[in-house]
């Protein structure tokens, strides 16, 4: 009962804190502007390098939010920060529109870690005070775009694990609109739990 109450409060707080509606970008313009992105994220947003995220099928609002964070310096990355620096608001919205309309390729999970990852994703760890990932990211990992929660479905486990460790260490802080939600969760995760839930997410369809 407490878990369901927490999930509801998380969703409601996200709806209250989500960013104002963005302008509607042009997917056609975004495809033309995506040429510099192909080397890391692939021609259709499906990255072949597990250290770089898949963008295909990600919500447009989340993509814009992250590009804004890279441009402002709120989020730091030696590759993405300089790429985002020259982008205008229209550029960001066009790129986001293009990638949000692409189809995720789908990946396979490490079968030895899926069961542990599934338990954590769906039920959390009440003893450790870890909320279930499903509360914000949905049963299939599609997220809640209206509330600002990203899609995780089919994301590279290597990338997911790296982001969880970054939240845990405090080197990533882009959960600030949601009251440090991801940092609070990641601070309670062990390395084994991070690897397990990352693998489970990678296999979501």
Contact 204, 170 (CB under 8 A): no
Average pLDDT of the residues of the chain: 90
pLDDT at residue number 106: 85
What pLDDT, on a 0 to 100 scale, did the predictor assign at position 22? 52
**Angle (nearest 5°) at CA 143 between 109 and 118:** 35
Q: Is 68 exposed, middle or buried (0-12, 13-18, 19+ CB in 10 A)?
A: middle
For 18-45, write each residue's pLDDT tens digit.
Answer: 343 456 899 999 999 999 999 999 999 9
Report d(CA 64, CA 56) in Å as an integer.
Answer: 14
The full length of the chain comes to 205
**pLDDT > 60? residue 183:** yes
Give the tens place of pLDDT for each residue, 136-177. Answer: 999 999 999 999 899 999 999 999 999 999 999 999 999 977
The answer, as to whether pTM is greater than 0.85, is: yes
Residue with tokens 């502007």: 33
Both structure tokens of 138: 């949905």
pLDDT, residue 34, reads 98
pLDDT tens-digit series, residues 4-23: 444 434 333 443 333 434 56
| pLDDT tier for residue 100 given thresholds of 50, 70 and 90 | very high
Is residue 119 within 8 A of residue 14, CB to CB? The reply is no
pLDDT above 90: percentage of residues in the chain:
84
Report which DSSP code applies to 112. Answer: H
């Amino acid at each position: 009962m407490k878990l369901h109450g927490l999930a509801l409060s998380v969703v409601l707080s996200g709806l209250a804190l989500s960013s104002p509606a963005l302008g509607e970008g042009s997917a056609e313009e975004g495809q033309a502007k995506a040429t510099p992105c192909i080397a890391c994220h692939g021609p259709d947003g499906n990255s072949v390098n597990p250290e770089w995220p898949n963008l295909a099928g990600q919500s447009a609002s989340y993509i814009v939010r992250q590009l804004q964070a890279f441009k402002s310096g709120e989020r730091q990355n030696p590759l993405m920060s300089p790429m985002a620096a020259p982008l205008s608001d229209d550029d960001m919205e066009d790129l986001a529109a293009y990638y949000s309309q692409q189809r995720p390729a789908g990946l396979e999970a490490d079968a030895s870690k899926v069961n542990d990852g599934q338990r954590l994703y769906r039920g959390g760890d009440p003893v450790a005070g870890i909320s279930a990932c499903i509360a914000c990211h949905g049963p299939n990992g599609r997220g809640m775009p209206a509330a600002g929660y990203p899609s995780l479905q089919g994301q590279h486990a290597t990338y997911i694990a790296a982001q969880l460790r970054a939240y845990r260490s405090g080197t990533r802080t882009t959960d600030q609109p949601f009251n440090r939600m991801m940092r609070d969760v990641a601070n309670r995760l062990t390395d084994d739990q991070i690897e397990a839930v990352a693998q489970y997410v990678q296999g979501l369809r």
